[in-house]
Amino acid sequence: MQGGRATRNDKPPVVVESDQGLQISLWTSARWKSNIDLKDSPVQEIWLRLHSLHIPPHFRFIWLNTLIVDGCHFLSDAVLPFCLLPLLPKLKTLQVRNCDFVKIIFDVTTMGPLPFALKTLILERLPNLENVWNSNVELTFPDVKSLALCDLPKLKYDMLKPFTHLEPHPLNQVCIQKLTPNIEHLILGEHELNMILSGEFQGNHLNKLKVLTLSFEYDEFLQRVPNIEKLEVCDGFFKEIFCFDSLNVDEDGLVSQLKVICWDSLPELVSIGSENFGIVPFLRNLETLQVISCLSSINLVPCTVSFSNLTYLLVQNCKSLLYLFTSSTARSLGQLKTMEISWCDSIEEIVSSTEEGDESDENEIIFQQLNCLKLIRLGKLRRFYKGSLSFPSLEEFTVIGCERMESLCAGTVKTDKLLEVNINWGGDVIPLETNLNSAMQNR
């Protein structure tokens, strides 16, 4: 069934059955589902006909753990009416998006706990949402680890201020600390972050936060969440990241636990940091770096950056990138185990020669721990590096769609463990009979 109309191969829609047959069909189809997208599911009839349907005794959505409510404009005030709450004992994830008329999420009438232990709550693009629950009650979700709040212009934003017993918040305003006291992953829209920064926000308010996902400039906010381990930034339109004024930044406390960074779909991003030494302390602790679809960046990082703990690097679809690192940064990658570079149309070399004598064998770059190297669809790539290279741990090397690259480097290249080179998606390989440069020329 598509768009509420039966196609030639569909069974007749439930709405043409008798009322009793409709109810039997609804409860039977809903009972065993583990995931429901309400917009495209016949189960939406339960919401549409809630006041006329007779809910069978002891009925439960016994397996339902994920409910997606996206673009359901038939909903009025509440997403989950009070009479439906007891039917969802296994609900773990609730996603509500693009519902123009929704004002509250949970229609509750008592102060007791909900009958399910929600773990993920995602609220996005709800222009009339005013609160998470009714104004006369107060809920808490101690099991929620992941919370998304994006594009909610009418939400009572005192929910983003800290909770204290001395100054309790009004019942018609939500306190995020009490709503989700054990949150570990927070996704914020720009409007929501601005409300936090303009409110009475305390540094220890989100001290359990491990993952932060944003879509805008966030340098000031990072100074308030020192314990995050993963930072995701996506779908933004700013030109710089990590351009702190070193005089105003406590470098020792700045996201010192940060281990993973993922930048995705930042088409105007030009600079990741600056020559300012303020970005060095926490980038040095990174273990994973992913840069995807950052279309305006010419190089990955400034030449002064060291990645002494980086183990995984993924760079994909960065169309303006000319090179990844300077030779000085490349020499700091002693712990790097996996490097994947793909679909970067302009890149000419992976490591740029910046120091006098880079081309000599004495100044070779050693990637001591690199085990896997993949170079895919890099149409202008001429070489990995102009000087000499050593890969003592390399066991997997893939090069596909790099027609202009005739050798890995102009100098010597050492690969003690590598036995073959993968050259296409079909699994064809070239045995490494002499050295890697010779194998590249024989592709």
List the structure tokens of 297: 């960046």
Burial class (CB in 10 A: 0-12, 13-18, 19+), 195: buried
What pLDDT score does 350 carry? 94
Q: What is the largest CA-CA distance in the chain?
A: 85
* Whole-number pLDDT of residue 112: 67
Q: Which two tokens stand for residue 60?
A: 């439960």
Give the pLDDT of the chain (443 residues) as one tens digit per residue. 333 333 334 333 333 334 555 566 666 666 677 888 887 777 777 777 776 677 777 778 888 899 999 988 877 788 988 888 888 899 999 999 999 989 989 888 766 677 888 999 999 999 999 888 876 666 788 899 999 989 998 887 554 443 333 344 444 444 566 678 888 888 888 777 776 666 534 444 566 778 888 876 666 666 667 678 888 888 877 777 765 554 344 455 556 678 898 888 888 877 666 555 445 566 778 899 999 998 777 777 766 678 889 999 999 999 988 999 889 889 999 999 999 999 999 999 999 876 555 555 557 899 999 999 999 999 999 999 999 999 999 999 999 999 999 889 988 999 999 999 998 877 788 888 778 888 887 76
Residue 421's contacts (CB-CB under 8 Å, 6 or more residues apart) are 397, 398, 399, 429, 430, 432, 436, 439, 440, 443
pTM equals: 0.76
Q: How far apart are CA 443 and CA 402, in angstroms?
A: 11
Secondary structure, 3-state, 10-79: CCCCHHHCCHHHHHHHHHHHHHCCCEEEHHHCCCHHHHHCCCCCCCCCCCCCCCCCEEEEECCCCCCCEE
**pLDDT score recorded for residue 362:** 54
Half-sphere exposure of 309 (CA within 13 A, CB side): 13
3-class SS at 277? Answer: helix
Spatial separation of the C-alpha atoms in residues 333 and 129, rounded to whole Å: 48
DSSP 80: E
Task: Report the distance separating Cα 127 and Cα 253, nearest Å.
Answer: 37
Residue 352 Cα distances to 210, 313, 325, 343, 365, angstroms? 34, 17, 6, 19, 12
pLDDT attached to residue 228: 82
Assign 409 to helix, strand or coil: strand
Bridge partners for 211 per DSSP: 185, 230
- The pLDDT value given to residue 299: 78
The pLDDT value recorded for residue 197 is 64
The first and second tokens of residue 43, run together, are 């189960």
Distance CA 14, CA 22 (A): 6
